[in-house]
Homo-oligomer: A and B are copies of this chain.
Amino acid sequence: MNEEQNIFHKYLEKHDLRDTPQRELILQIFLRREGHISAEQLYDIVKKRDPSIGQATVYRVLKLLIEAGLAREIDFGDGVIRYEHKYNHPHHDHLVCRGCGKTLEVVDSVIEELQKRVAESYGFELTDHEMYLYGYCENCRQKRQ
């Protein structure tokens, strides 16, 4: 049993939630996938293993994973929320190609520090932030010419 599973089971126990095969299956599949996945994409994979699972359950489990600290929401502004691993996957921002949609995870400690300073200069205590950098990747730039 890996660490994430452990955290999930502890979370269930602590909140009087029950350990069901649906929750286990959805957890497994989420953990195996790296990257950013939408509820629908996850549901499509889950269905293959157990066609009787409803998509409402996928949404419900994703909420649990967030509360348990195992998942984090990403909003690229296209109307679909995606989810990524949070455990052992520290904060980062995203660089997104407007041509092909490719995303890279980036972090710059100087920017992070300056964000805190900017907030403080307005009397704010910064809790978190979102930063999306949009542009064209090398591939897409070459194709454009």
Contact = CB atoms under 8 A, between A and B. Distances in A.
A120 to B, nearest CB: 9
Contact of A133 (B95, B129, B132, B134): B129
A136 B77 CA distance: 24
A108 interface: yes
Nearest to A126: B135
Interface residues of A, number: 32
Interface in A112-145: 114-115, 118-119, 122-138, 141
Nearest to A98: B127
B124 A95 contact: yes
A98 B125 CA distance: 10
A138 B133 CA distance: 29
A81 to B, nearest CB: 9
A111 B118 contact: yes
16 contacts: A75-B75, A95-B118, A95-B124, A98-B127, A106-B118, A108-B118, A122-B137, A125-B141, A126-B135, A128-B134, A129-B131, A129-B132, A129-B134, A130-B130, A130-B131, A130-B132
